[in-house]
Chains A and B, each alone.
Chain A
Amino acid sequence: MNETAQMHTLEGFVAAGVILMMVMLISENTMIITPQCELGMDVQLQQTAIDVLNVLDIAPDCALQFNLNLTEHVAGYNLSEPIPQNNSLKPLDTEISNLLGDILYNVDFVYVGNGTITNDTIANGTITNDHVIMHGAPIENSMSASRFITLYNETGGTWNISSNNVQVVEVRLIIWQI
């Protein structure tokens, strides 16, 4: 057996170890700023938005601070008042703020017509987008989630819905992190 150059062999292993550590250090550092990790954060942010809307819509009233679910919050929105309103939007703002913590958000209500739903407004397909809760301008990596709720004549509020019509409202939550 050739026993020469043993020290060189050991040097080789040490060098391999040093190179390995350097490669790991560089790869781990670059991972933080690579676009795919940014996408991963976007996925988490969007899932958070979806979860907030789900909780507000599905959770029993008693589980929420103001005993109102998402449909009741939307029904209480006054279409004729300017924003910000001191009605059901204020509890909605507080509920979302409690659930999101430091994350910033805006809320839009999107619906067909102008609050008075008739066969004509449905046929015309005109869309109204009300920015009902504003906490600033969304930044580049903002994410959004939506939930469709249905208002009937019985749900009340200032929506003008006849007994044989319904109003579909998309609640759009836009969130971003600084």
Chain B
Amino acid sequence: MANITGNTHGQWIILSGMTISLTLVLLAVLANQASITGFNSSHSALEFPKEQIRDLTLGVRDYSISAAKLAYELNNTNNTNNETVRNIFTRLLNDYTSQVSTIHSIYGNNVNVTISKIVFNSTNNSIDTIWLNIYYDDGITYFACEPEIIEVI
């Protein structure tokens, strides 16, 4: 025992051994982190409903503009007032929302669109701006746009 403790040769071997073991530990940690990062990023990209939300918002925007113009045309035909345009627009939007919501329910998503405010043109009965609340919920991600302001050109 005295011989072993008193022997100071081979210091470089011990140091290199330590360096090797520390390098291996570092590499193992890095490899592990890379795998976890790859898994998390791929999983997040698949889980997060970015495209569904974008498609919903764009669809509602496009449809609202068309529905506002259609409501105005139907109003002109019947020669009535702002309130009639509002009622026609509300019915058209509800029809659209109901269908979109039903189709989204196949995937277990909850979708809803409500009217917050409608601004009419002061000179005629046409709709200038629509304020909508858009909700999307797939159980993990909840999205609410309160309000989505749509300018009818």
- Please provide the chain A residues from 1 to 49 with a CB less than 8 Å away from any CB of chain B in the complex: 2, 4-6, 8-9, 12-13, 15-16, 19-20, 23, 27, 31, 34-37, 39-40, 42-43, 46
- Please provide the chain A residues from 129 to 174 with a CB less than 8 Å away from any CB of chain B in the complex: 145-148, 150, 152, 164-168, 170
Could you tell me the distance between the alpha carbons of A16 and B13 in the complex, rounded to whole angstroms?
12
Verify A8–B31 contact, CB threshold 8 A: no
Could you tell me the distance between the alpha carbons of A121 and B2 in the complex, rounded to whole angstroms?
95
B146 within 8 A of A: no
B140 within 8 A of A: no
On chain A, the number of residues with a Cβ less than 8 Å from chain B's Cβ atoms is 45
Verify A8–B13 contact, CB threshold 8 A: yes
Could you tell me the distance between the alpha carbons of A122 and B9 in the complex, rounded to whole angstroms?
88
Verify B13–A46 contact, CB threshold 8 A: no
Encode B49-71 as 1/0 by CB contact (under 8 A) with A.
00110011001001100110010
List 22 A-B pairs, Cβ < 8 Å.
A2-B8, A5-B11, A8-B13, A12-B19, A20-B27, A23-B28, A27-B31, A36-B39, A39-B46, A40-B42, A42-B42, A110-B106, A122-B95, A145-B51, A147-B55, A148-B55, A148-B59, A150-B62, A165-B95, A166-B95, A168-B96, A168-B100
